[in-house]
Chain A
Amino acid sequence: MPVYNLKVNGQSHTVEADQDTPLLWVLRDHLDMVGTKFGCGIGQCGACTIHVDGSATRSCLLQVSMIEDMEITTIEGLSDDASHPVQQAWKEVDVPQCGYCQAGQMMSAAAFLTQNSNPNKSEIRDAMSGNICRCASYNRIEKAVEVAASKLS
């Protein structure tokens, strides 16, 4: 089995995996970083969203062989101490119901806010529409993105 060198949350890891293994399962099964969630496996729900070189990306569609030398950030690495404005906002607004999709939601929001730090509601809704929340905590997700934006500014 091929060996890959990955840089996840600022740390180097060596993993042995088939070249077509999605990064999602490398993170979860090989590296024991289970914060990134499996929802659909086809890039439709956003539960597995991570950052690749700062951009929100679906880790279920990203083969391990494609990401060597790239900077991977997962929910575990969004901050060292839950201090990222998005994490703080999610807590303040008490967004989660079941909470399963929220890592993906937060990673989408964090990447979006680096592109647009002062979004209006419509821009937030567009940006977050790739992430499904089956509990439909959408009103609070919208609010939390607003709160996070205000913390960033």
Chain B
Amino acid sequence: MIKSVVSKEYQELQKEIIKLQEKWKLQLDPETIRPNLDKAAMEAGVPVAALTAIDFEISLFLQWVEEINALIIKSIPELEPKLAGIASLLNEEIAINWIEEAFAFNHLYFASFAEENGLEEWIPQFLAETALRPYLQLTAEKVQNEIHRAVPGAGCPVCGEPVRLAALEDEGKKVIHCPRCLAHWHAKRLECSHCGNENHKTVQFLTIEGDSVSQIQVCDECNGYIKIIDTRQYISQPSAALLDLNSIHLDFVAQENSYNVVGEKKQTN
């Protein structure tokens, strides 16, 4: 219902994928995920997922990949010829590789995998990432009570995804949501999540005329940005993944203004 630059069909597809991930998450035995909450490592910015032992069930992972395939083909029939061959390519060994490389967000591996097998570049990583998320989300759910803040620049304290989305809640509390693992944590209202800059002169806000709920927080120290959405104005609270998708126009605006998804501290000579 919320107006978005994203097409209705694609929003519907994403909603279905999120529903599937919810369903898959419930199929997982919580005992297969054993986080090791090392305080020192967490304070240094090591994501919890890297400190967690997860027993992946390969057959389940393969089944999920097939389910996503079926869903995409149902929603966008033109993609069928491009996706049809995937099932025969996948075996246990490749699935293990996919999980590991998706976990590490190794896009180079997936790009070369796609090239070797004559697939379009987006396909392998998209499928692997989508099927991996239920594990990350369950991990986040398990440790959510221990996640209070993040180390600036280290990304999501659970899965390591760069910070890019915050919501304003309650009396204006800035809560950062990870659209990948759905973990959330509190951040200072005037702090760059990429470099920790707290200088009010260099942390600025861009707003879009006619968009009363969104702002882009930009940092002139590291040139990074995050999107801040006042979700208190929404009638019903959308999930972080959908919020991230529907606010994609903010990413365009920020990047056109030469700000980056991940901030980088300028080198001083």
A, B in one complex: no
- Report B's interface with A, CB cutoff 8 A: none
